Chain A
Amino acid sequence: MGLSDGTIKMSFTILPDDLTAAGEASSSMKKMLNQLGVSPQLVKKAAIAMYEAEINAVIHGGGGIADIIIDGQKIEILIRDEGPGIPDLELAMQEGYSTASDEIREMGFGAGMGLPNMKRYSDELIIHSEVGKGTSVKIIVNFY
């Protein structure tokens, strides 16, 4: 491979129900962006958005896969799961809306801020979700 098409692709497995491992993919992503010299504020944006999506896949989606594609212009983060899906996306996007269980809340999650944060910190957010099939979240953060 080597000098392929000028993009970097990485794939991570997101384990179900393992909150201690959650965030590993976004940490690796952060390290990579720092190595590329992407500005700290953009790294932070991408990190928050990806972390929220990753956590959602763990808590609500039963685990999944995170793919990242970096080219010289932007980073694309794709998080997919085959969980229950989101019945009413518009509702889910509202601040404070959450179906998280009490146990999850005790661990400090479930404030209903994940999706709104993803929206706020990404330049583009595309969510596809189908009940019974799963959810895919695409986050784009532009470098310029």
Chain B
Amino acid sequence: MGTYFHSVTLDESRCRGCTNCIKRCPTEAIRVRKSKARIINERCIDCGECIRVCPYHAKQAISDPFNLIYSFKYRVAVPAPSLYGQFKNAASRNHILTALKGMGFHRVYEVAKAAEIVSDATRKLIQEEWVNKPLISSACPAVVRLIQVRFPSLIDNIVKLESPMEVAAKIVRKEVMDSLKLSSEDIGVFFITPCAAKVTSVKAPYEKENSNVDGVLSIKDIYLKILNSLGKIKNAEDLEQAGFEGIRWANSGGESLALGTEKFLAVDGIHNVITILDEIENDRIEDVDFIEALACNGGCLGGPLTVENLYVAKTRLKKYIDQAKDKDLPQKEIDKYDDLVWTGNVEYKPVMKLDKDMVKAMKKLETLELIHKELPGLDCGACGAPSCRALAEDIVRENANETDCIFKLREKVRDLAIQMMELEKKMPPVLDKESEPTKGGIEDEC
């Protein structure tokens, strides 16, 4: 695994070199070269926009194969709350959890339960004097990575608490180790994910050395198996542990609603998130203590690896939220949040920097702007870059040429054609009749 692991990858055989993805990418991380899209690894934040927009399904998210679970003696599934929105005929959450468990797991532990613990910790964190407000949720790893590359001045505002997924994995691992006297290596904890960003956060976490999760299975990959066994369940096991506040995290706004403050702002969809982060950076967001920013439209229910349509899934989830409200499971209050605090920190990734040396960067920026001025400004994408300015940037980074722009190329060709015509007129003197010293010109002959 290199420095830049990414779940989002390209299937070259499917890519036709269209320019749909380069235009949607929020960090300008994709270029088309030789009729194939290329992902610039340092810039990719695994938001999955390209997966959604690619008409040929050439962009995919790498997750683990199901059989990986069998490399562990004891197997635990920790499902994201968005899983609950996927199934039409499920009678209850217990049915879904039982079906999931039946796939080959010894235990399931709801991430929604851990979400309640994180909510509780966040409630306490918000009260602290020293925090930078507005606090920005770290629930969506794609947004954290976006901040790393595009909004570095907001790194200090990120909620540096473990994600519900990590907390769930940690708790259940410890419980199993203690109760069954198993060693950590024998236990395989598998996250059931709605997105690529979460896969990356397990394979290459930014906040610590190693994740508590051993493998990640996508909702898409296990959907049919669960669906099939759902019908066959007669007696569902009682596996529900989470209350409605945890389940609600699957929705945009769910995390915020659990905080007990009205001073929150919930934004979803990566391009909307960018607008809001811009506003925070310009100091234009007032009276807000907490920002919940999710890369996917609608929140995790709209994740790129989910199956069901977002709006349908929302309605279903609402049913489970209401059921959980009736049940009103006791909330386990935590008294301190210290052990949820990140052990590492996210760093600024200056991937936009043109050069390490500021003087050289200045020269490059100057050239970039000059080139940009000369380009047609159509942002047509035919050069393989998302905009004229991005092409100008690629040129100063020596990754592209001015003639990659078809308009520039045409200009060049026209210039060459003119030059050729002019050259053609100039015959070598031995052949050139017109330059013969005889007086007769064209006019004379007529």
Which A residues are within 8 Å of any B CB, using their own CB? 1-4, 6, 8, 10, 23, 26-27, 30-32, 34-38, 40-41, 43-44, 47-48, 51, 70-72, 108, 111, 117, 143
Task: Select which of B155, B286, B364 is within 8 A of A40 by beta carbon.
Answer: B155
Which chain B residue has the least Cβ–Cβ distance from A41? B153
A118 to chain B, nearest CB (A): 11
Q: Which residues of A contact B369 (CB under 8 A)?
A: 8, 10
Between-chain CB contacts (< 8 Å), 25 pairs: A3-B363, A6-B359, A23-B278, A23-B282, A27-B278, A31-B352, A34-B152, A34-B350, A34-B352, A35-B353, A36-B361, A37-B350, A37-B355, A40-B153, A41-B153, A44-B153, A48-B282, A51-B283, A71-B362, A72-B358, A72-B362, A108-B284, A108-B286, A111-B286, A117-B283
Query: Nearest chain A CB to B46's CB is how many angstroms away?
Result: 21
Contact B361 A35 (CB under 8 A): yes
Is the CB–CB distance between A35 and B358 below 8 Å?
A: no
Asked if A43 meets B370 with Cβ closer than 8 Å, knowing A36-B358, A36-B361, A108-B284, the reply is no
- B359 to chain A minimum Cβ distance, whole angstroms, is 6
Q: Determine whether B239 belongs to the interface, using a CB cutoff of 8 Å to chain A.
A: no
**Does more than half of chain B's interface fall in helix, strand or loop, or is it mixed?**
helix
Contact yes or no, A36 B366, CB < 8 A:
no
Q: Mark B284-319, 1 if CB is under 8 A from A, else 0.
A: 101000000000000000000000000000000000
Query: Contacts A27-B278, A41-B153, A108-B284 given: A2-B366 contact, CB under 8 Å?
Result: yes
A47-B365 contact, Cβ under 8 Å, with A31-B352, A34-B352, A36-B353: no
Closest Cβ of chain B to A131, distance in Å, is 28
B404 at the A/B interface (Cβ < 8 Å)? no
CB-defined contacts of A23 to chain B, threshold 8 Å: 278, 282
Are the C-beta atoms of B366 and A4 separated by less than 8 Å?
Answer: yes
* CB atoms of B370 and A35 under 8 A apart: no
CA distance A111 to B153 in the complex (A): 24
